[in-house]
Structure 1
Amino acid sequence: MTGVAEPVIRTPDQRIRVFVSSTLRELADERRAARAAIEGLRLAPVMFELGARPHPPRALYRSYLAQSDVFVGIYGASYGWVAPGEEISGLEDEYRLAPPGMPKLIYLKSGSEREERLEALIDRIRTDDTAAYLSFDAPEDLAARIAEDLATLLAERFDQSRAPASAPGAPATSLAARVPVPYTRTIGREGDIAAVRDLLERAEDRVISLIGPGGIGKSRLAIESALAVDDLFPDGTYFIALENVLEPALLLPTIAYALGIRDNGEAALEERLSLALAGRRVLLVLDNFEQIVDAAPVLVRLFTVAPLARFLVTSRIVLRIRGERVFEVPPLVAPADGAPATLERAGMSSACALFVDRAVAAAPGFVLTADNAGAVMDICRRLEGLPLAIELAAAKARMLSPQTIAERLGQALPLLTAAVRDLPERHRTMRATLQWSVSLLTPPQREMLEDLGVFAERFTFDAVEALGAGRTWGGEALEALGALVDASLVKQTDVAGRGVLSLLAIVREYAIGRLKERGEADLMRAAHADYYHLLVQRLAPQLRGTGQAAVLPELGLQLANLRAAIRHLVYTGRLDDAADFAWEMLIYWWIMGLFGGVRVWMLELLAKDEPITQRSRATAWFFALWGELWQRPAQEVVAGLGEVARLFAESGDDDASAMAFAARATARVQLPDPDIDLAERELRDAVERLQKVGNPWAEAITRVSLGRVAWLRGSIDDALAHLERASAIAETNGDRFTLSIAGNQRGRLLIVRGAVDEAEDVFVTTLMQSVRLHHEEGVAYGLEGLCAVAAARDDAERAGELSAAAAAIRHRVGVFDVEAFTVHALSLDEVRSRHPEQVAAGEARGRMLTLAEAVSRALPETEGAAAADALAHW
């Protein structure tokens, strides 16, 4: 593998992406082995789930390859399918499209009688000095070879990854990376991007609304504009998708989730958001706002308390709030009526340029010529320059000539637009084009597209297969899905090395509309909810123990559909199932801070005033009272949680009853004038109940509350005993979340005791647990604890640095409810009184650290390396 400049392998701060190419069904076991080997090295496998196909996905896997670092080819006997009109298979196409300097690891299955064209491809590979190839016998043999070869490759390239951050080509660390990266080229929007940038730069308006019909390119313009103004917003750019947010009350929870702010019920979410945005120059991109336009006044409240924040909104309708500047998103420039049908005229149109670009992606041999220029101009003129409509038409270039596409549009569009006269003109054109594109599918493919309308945001092929049971397309899910991708009706992207699927908002809207017309919307919503409920029943129990860290990212990937499943259950009247679903996910809502959204659905459930079980009523009231417990503690809340415990007990759920009883005791501690003796007795009673039902997770959390009560009493010995017991239970059961909470409390008490070395060990452990759980609040607490350790050792600069880094995290995620028992501030004040200049110097450095840098500075070298690896997966 010599002869070319070797690309830098990015490690450990960014995950290395390994593109895997193979035939799909022939080598299914080998693909699974390859994925396991790659993930075992904590790298990201990039696997094209729909298999090797040489048409429209070419643009997608070209993008995958462009963003990958290593190419792995696994070849058996088959050359792969060659689509009609193509000359090579997707297998060879992927190899050809791999960048010339990309390292290529090729694995040949022994004992296979290879097809002639595959042998020719392998002969070509043998002459490629960027490729290494080996044979293997079985999947387990393949896994071992891949792991060994990737490890060797990393070792060879590691030194090259040590370039200084300012070096050309160094990876950007801006939060603009949160903005989706387009997988296709943006055409004809240069002037619009410049105009949006100008509006944001002038800072005269707080909300810039990109307004236009579906399919005109509002989201793409918002994405490109956000990427173009990164320099104007040094504190971050966030892209917040709202297409699946249907309740106005969920706007704040959705924004908070994107900003990393947990809604654990302990403080009003709007207050946390206000603190997180105060003094920060950030851009929040809110995409598809039209369905929750009633929530627009919330933006006014937010920008009133956060004057440096700006909001870029996409919507089909104007928000009509103060501070809003409307930018009407224009269509692309289409040829004027009567313009000469010449190659030169077509080249002057951005609409025609888009058609040609997407037609080439669909049919690589496509060329704009004098013969077809008139037809392309006619297509773009008929479609009024609407980008999505043009893309849908261009996707047919693989099968139809531009002249045929223009002819068919000319026949279909007038009839289709006449059928939707109640829509504005461009809405009619877009809807008609969508219907025309769908009409070219087979009946099973059309049914599949309509069925996919029940999914929210991104979804997996496993979920699609599950929904296909009993459907006409169920036996050909892979092929049907491939056809929808080819038609640009389904998009495929990559999340952490995993292929996921999605529908554009307007396609989803069309699909669910057709489902309703067929009278099958509720049927498919039920199937969707059943699949995700089964998923939760399988995964949620692991949240109580050793599977916690592994399950959290999996549930995070599925979050939009988990929320949609609860919504479907409530909407279709399956209220008991909705309550069960919500309760099974209790620990997930708690760890991730997602109580706000669940509370909205549980209150909706109660408002339906339909028959439900006692257990369901108890569940709904538990979520409704949780925020009240922390934010507005009162005797009514204590009584309400007591009633919840009774309802759970009478329904036969002693586990849930014990948890509700513990919550009641905790609520009693929060009262303005608490009866500490009664609260302690009830907490001890709750511990006994939880032990009896075998719920160590809730027992550990309740013992943390007992420790806090003992601390309030001034009994450090008792407090430490409770917290040590809570930590032991959490550690035994692999419960990293509770281990972090209990550990931070223990560490503070140990600092008070003067046991500095022991406290340091505890805070290092809790910081590592928080990093592994992607729990930023816990990271802040851990940094504060190690600040106190540094202050106790008179290391003034380090104490100041860690304190400022923790304060920056608190500010960003809106954590202002500082623990009453905190000790780091007192320790810092003490060392500041002796070394004010050193503390100030440390604080200046700490304010400039990223979270990863702060964690690295806080931890010993061995733990720091493990933390860096974990942070690379955030």
Structure 2
Amino acid sequence: MVEPASMRDAATNLPAELTNFVGRRAERNDVKRSLSESRLVTLTGFGGVGKTRLALRVAAELRRAFTDGVRFVSLGELNDPAWLPDTIATALGMQGRSTRTAPASLVEYLRRRELLLVLDNSEHLVEAVAVLVDTLLRTCPGLRVLTTSREPLRLRGESVHTVAPLTVPSHGEERTTPLRQYEAISLFVDRAAAVVPDFTLTEDNRAAVAAICRKLEGIPLALELAAVRLRAMSPHELAEHLTDRWELLTRGSRDAPDRQRTMAACIEWSFELCSEAERDVWAYVSVFTGDFELDAAQGVCPSGDDSGDDDACAQLPDVLLALVDKSILAAEVQGGRTRFHMLPAIRQRGISRLRERGMLTQLRRRHRDFYVELSRRTQREWVSPRQIDLIVRLRREQGNMRTALEFCHQEPGEAEPGLRMGANLLEFGLAEGLFRPGRVWFGRLLAQAPEPTATRALALRTACWWATMQGDMEPARELLAEGTALATELGEPVTTLFEQTAGFVAMFSDDPARAVELFESALTGFRSSGDISQTTHTLVLLALVHTFTGDLDRALACHKECLGISEPAGESWYRSYSLWIAGLATWAAGDETSAIELARESLRLKRAMAEKLGIGLGLETLAWIAAPHDPRRATILLGAAQNQWEAIETSTAALPGLFSYHQRCIDVLRADLDAARFDELWREGAALDQAAAIDYALDERPPSRRRDIGRKTESATGDNLTRRETQIAELVAKGLTNKDIASTLVISKRTAETHVEHILTKLGFTSRIEIVRWMSDRPESADTESG
């Protein structure tokens, strides 16, 4: 059974924490206080000190304080600042369907949202990040930004928080002081117990543990790497080993700050303690961007003929697990698949080894080849039960695919494989909607590979489809003209593919008669050649055009033939669109009951694929059908559909035949509802997250407000405040400062501050002004305690 590709909670994409978070309570409160007072907070510090973990924990604790949630963007593997806006847009769930620039799309999307954006590892893109963040903060009043970087962005209003290493005991303190109060000790013991389950802090090992934490200067990543060694060493041996070898390991980096030398030495020490096979695999998998899976690692690892030693690759699963055990890699199961991850600081050591051995280009080429093959497999198996799995896999691999395309662009003579990858992803691109970045890559690679090859023709075809979907018709026609001329030279099957493409352009150019003629001709060619995928695709397109022209019998006949191919094959994407079109045709024929069921069946498939365009169309269609007899429901559905259109930067207006349905629906609703009621219901629909909107459209549960839209009325009941906290909240609402509150209640200023911090956390707020508003909305409170 295929696992649904349903999106995570719409309010957040924060990665799951794989290990316990230890300490930093005061720092977390400081950062949250800074975010309540400043719209830009930057966590600075050297690599390995824990900036990312702190940012993630603070973001998780503040999640309910933002109407539109928290979004996390990892920038560590992004090398080209030109892709920064698109990377952020992707993390926000946006799709580059419009022809606007990515920064303009971001501004438009964020302008009306209240959201916390976490930008992680910004230092290598600091200038580009600063420019974009400045633009967003100036134009999006509900946006707050939390960044991690080795240096500040240096923007006006930025609050900079330097993340310090964890606290460690001074020499000799371990004899008289409880060690658990030191954060470094707590972290080391926690990680040690994870690898040696019976490990505890005892009188016998406390001095050694304290010495280890002092030697590693409280650096979290260094402590985690060291804790793994307790599998083979006692704490005493580990402390002694660090002392004996540390000076040797820090040589060669004397110009680095002390703690950076400590971190580099710890990574180098871990590298030296690995077997030769483990070092090789560490280096090989360092070419991945972010996460990777076992089959990708197998594709990248060179054979014995390539490297002269195939021991590492022959034992790859075992070696990867060994690297996980040593904390070089982290492993997480996603959708039934194990994905491995390497931190940037550790990754750089692997890259250095590849450079030393002259293997970096070879490994980057193997990495590229794996993703070209993945794209080919996606095209080959598109009409199959594996389709949804392939869509989900490609979504997970976007960072690696961008890295593969960068190699094709940067390395002389390597452009054609990149064009092949793009050509193979036509259908995935239509489903996922990342047209803007896709067209940028095509523009770069087509200029580098002008030879009149079949690969170039197929790349021109995909680029044409994506331009058409953006409504960018003039460039689309230019791509079509060049591709058609090249197809004439190449002959079949390329000629038929361009007949189909010409029909697609005609359909979007509001020339349905010409589109039907071209699709019919292409369909004959695809049937003749046995191309099942393109036969099915063309049947869907023909069904849609016939519906627009009112030829409903032919539309439904195309739908029936499409189902006859797609259902037995276990295919979902073509089938979902065919069902939606059949719903439109059946509704036009007067059978509303069947139309609703067909539209809902399509929407269920779209939910399994998490395809925003199809979900938006499904919600709109059910609104159109409901409008004449249930205007309330129809308006709520239109408001919910608007969320999808904003995320993917398009609407029904992109296709003339569809937009007329939308306009007629609006006219019917405006006639039945006054303007205030219409706006109220629209907002009710817009307040639904994707899952709630689909549930409502399918009648699977009544409309409920988006979880985080309602957080301040749901979570901020005040029931979880103590009587003292309620009393302090009332004083805050009266405008008293913490100093005034302390004086009034005869408590210390620090105690007053702590109470206010607890109130903010419990109520899910980020600023005192939210307490004031909340108190003003509450009924008169009962008498509070005194003293």
Q: TM-score, normalised by structure 2?
A: 0.78
1:327 aligned partner, one-letter code = H
Q: Which residue of 1 aligns with 2:423?
A: 583
- Of residues 148, 152, 159 in structure 2, which corresponds to 1:325? 159
User: Which deviations, in whole Å up to 9, do the C-alpha atoms of 1:660-700 show, x marking residues without a partner?
Assistant: 454455446666xx888767765665555555554454456
Please state if 1:596 is matched with 2:436: yes
Q: Which residue of 1 aligns with 2:60?
A: 227
Q: Distance in 1 between matches of 2:62 and 2:176?
A: 35
Do the aligned partners of residues 787 and 629 (structure 1) sit closer, same or farther apart at CA in structure 2, a change above 3 Å counting? Answer: closer
CA deviation after TM superposition for structure 1 residue 579, in Å: 1.9
Residue pair 1:335, 1:345 contacting (<8 A) in 2 also? no
Residue pair 1:544, 1:587 contacting (<8 A) in 2 also? no
Q: Distance in 2 between matches of 1:534 and 1:631?
A: 27
Counterpart of 1:500 in 2: which secondary structure? Answer: strand
Q: Which residue of 1 aligns with 2:148?
A: 314
Q: Which residue of 1 aligns with 2:573?
A: 737
Please state if 1:775 is matched with 2:614: no
CA deviation after TM superposition for structure 1 residue 260, in Å: 2.5
Structure 1 runs not aligned, ≥5 long: 1-38, 45-171, 865-874
Q: Which residue of 2 aligns with 1:240?
A: 73
Q: Distance in 2 between matches of 1:267 and 1:724?
A: 36
Q: Which residue of 2 aligns with 1:342?
A: 175
Residue pair 2:416, 2:449 contacting (<8 A) in 1 also? no
Q: Distance in 1 between matches of 2:565 and 2:186?
A: 59
Q: Which residue of 1 aligns with 2:688?
A: 849
Q: Which residue of 1 aligns with 2:664?
A: 826
Counterpart of 2:43 in 1: which secondary structure? Answer: strand
Counterpart of 2:118 in 1: which secondary structure? Answer: strand
Q: Distance in 2 between matches of 1:380 and 1:688?
A: 73
1:495 aligned partner, one-letter code = Q
1:179 aligned partner, one-letter code = L
Please state if 1:252 is matched with 2:85: yes
CA deviation after TM superposition for structure 1 residue 368, in Å: 2.5
Residue pair 2:77, 2:290 contacting (<8 A) in 1 also? yes
**Within 5 Å, which residues of 2 pair with 1:314-713?**
314-321=148-155, 324-336=158-170, 338-342=171-175, 344=177, 346-468=179-301, 469-470=303-304, 471-544=310-383, 547-572=386-411, 573-606=413-446, 609=448, 614-622=453-461, 628-629=467-468, 633=472, 635=474, 637-651=476-490, 654-664=492-502, 666-667=504-505, 686-687=522-523, 689-695=525-531, 697-698=533-534
Residue pair 1:212, 1:315 contacting (<8 A) in 2 also? yes
2:625 aligned partner, one-letter code = V
Do the aligned partners of residues 610 and 553 (structure 1) sit closer, same or farther apart at CA in structure 2, a change above 3 Å counting? Answer: closer
Residue pair 1:800, 1:841 contacting (<8 A) in 2 also? no
Q: Distance in 1 between matches of 2:443 and 2:208?
A: 56
Q: Distance in 1 between matches of 2:184 and 2:426?
A: 50
CA deviation after TM superposition for structure 1 residue 509, in Å: 2.0
Q: Which residue of 2 aligns with 1:14?
A: none
Residue pair 1:375, 1:403 contacting (<8 A) in 2 also? yes
Please state if 1:759 is matched with 2:595: yes
Structure 2 runs not aligned, ≥5 long: 305-309, 704-787
1:778 aligned partner, one-letter code = G
Q: Distance in 1 between matches of 2:223 and 2:337?
A: 29
Do the aligned partners of residues 239 and 473 (structure 1) sit closer, same or farther apart at CA in structure 2, a change above 3 Å counting? Answer: same
Residue pair 2:464, 2:477 contacting (<8 A) in 1 also? no
Do the aligned partners of residues 860 and 230 (structure 1) sit closer, same or farther apart at CA in structure 2, a change above 3 Å counting? Answer: closer
CA deviation after TM superposition for structure 1 residue 221, in Å: 0.9
User: Which deviations, in whole Å up to 9, do the C-alpha atoms of 1:263-305 show, x marking residues without a partner?
Assistant: 3456654454444323221222222233444532233333444
Q: Distance in 1 between matches of 2:146 and 2:495?
A: 46
Q: Which residue of 1 aligns with 2:640?
A: 805
Q: TM-score, normalised by structure 1?
A: 0.70
**Within 5 Å, which residues of 2 pair with 1:163-178?**
175=10, 178=13
Do the aligned partners of residues 441 and 730 (structure 1) sit closer, same or farther apart at CA in structure 2, a change above 3 Å counting? Answer: same
Q: Distance in 2 between matches of 1:237 and 1:362?
A: 32
Q: Distance in 1 between matches of 2:642 and 2:481?
A: 37
**Which one scores higher on RCO, CA 8 angstroms, separation ≥ 6?**
2
Residue pair 1:576, 1:613 contacting (<8 A) in 2 also? no
CA deviation after TM superposition for structure 1 residue 392, in Å: 0.8
Identity of aligned residues (%): 30
CA deviation after TM superposition for structure 1 residue 774, in Å: 1.3
CA deviation after TM superposition for structure 1 residue 505, in Å: 1.9
Q: Distance in 2 between matches of 1:268 and 1:632?
A: 14
**Within 5 Å, which residues of 2 pair with 1:260-271?**
260-264=93-97, 269-271=102-104
Q: Which residue of 1 aligns with 2:726?
A: none
CA deviation after TM superposition for structure 1 residue 229, in Å: 0.4
User: Which deviations, in whole Å up to 9, do the C-alpha atoms of 1:396-439 show, x marking residues without a partner?
Assistant: 11212233222322233333323124544433221111001111
User: Which deviations, in whole Å up to 9, do the C-alpha atoms of 1:362-394 show, x marking residues without a partner?
Assistant: 222333334433333332223222110111111
Please state if 1:298 is matched with 2:132: yes
Q: Distance in 1 between matches of 2:231 and 2:319?
A: 17
Residue pair 1:335, 1:346 contacting (<8 A) in 2 also? yes
Residue pair 2:416, 2:445 contacting (<8 A) in 1 also? no
Residue pair 1:750, 1:758 contacting (<8 A) in 2 also? yes
CA deviation after TM superposition for structure 1 residue 395, in Å: 1.3
Q: Distance in 1 between matches of 2:68 and 2:80?
A: 29
Q: Which residue of 2 aligns with 1:288?
A: 121
CA deviation after TM superposition for structure 1 residue 530, in Å: 3.3
Q: Which residue of 2 aligns with 1:871?
A: none
Q: Distance in 2 between matches of 1:599 and 1:540?
A: 19
Q: Distance in 2 between matches of 1:350 and 1:456?
A: 31
CA deviation after TM superposition for structure 1 residue 339, in Å: 4.8
Counterpart of 2:550 in 1: which secondary structure? Answer: helix
Aligned residues: 685
1:313 aligned partner, one-letter code = T
CA deviation after TM superposition for structure 1 residue 519, in Å: 1.0
Please state if 1:186 is matched with 2:21: yes
Q: Distance in 2 between matches of 1:239 and 1:394?
A: 29
Q: Distance in 1 between matches of 2:438 and 2:678?
A: 43
Residue pair 2:503, 2:518 contacting (<8 A) in 1 also? yes
Q: Distance in 1 between matches of 2:229 and 2:74?
A: 29
Residue pair 1:242, 1:288 contacting (<8 A) in 2 also? yes
1:520 aligned partner, one-letter code = M
Q: Which residue of 2 aligns with 1:784?
A: 620
Stretch deviating more after TM superposition (757-766 or 518-527): 757-766
Q: Which residue of 1 aligns with 2:724?
A: none
Q: Distance in 1 between matches of 2:151 and 2:451?
A: 38
CA deviation after TM superposition for structure 1 residue 218, in Å: 1.4
1:414 aligned partner, one-letter code = E
**Aligned-residue RMSD, C-alpha:** 3.6
Q: Which residue of 2 aligns with 1:727?
A: 559
User: Which deviations, in whole Å up to 9, do the C-alpha atoms of 1:549-579 show, x marking residues without a partner?
Assistant: 3432233344443443444444444322222
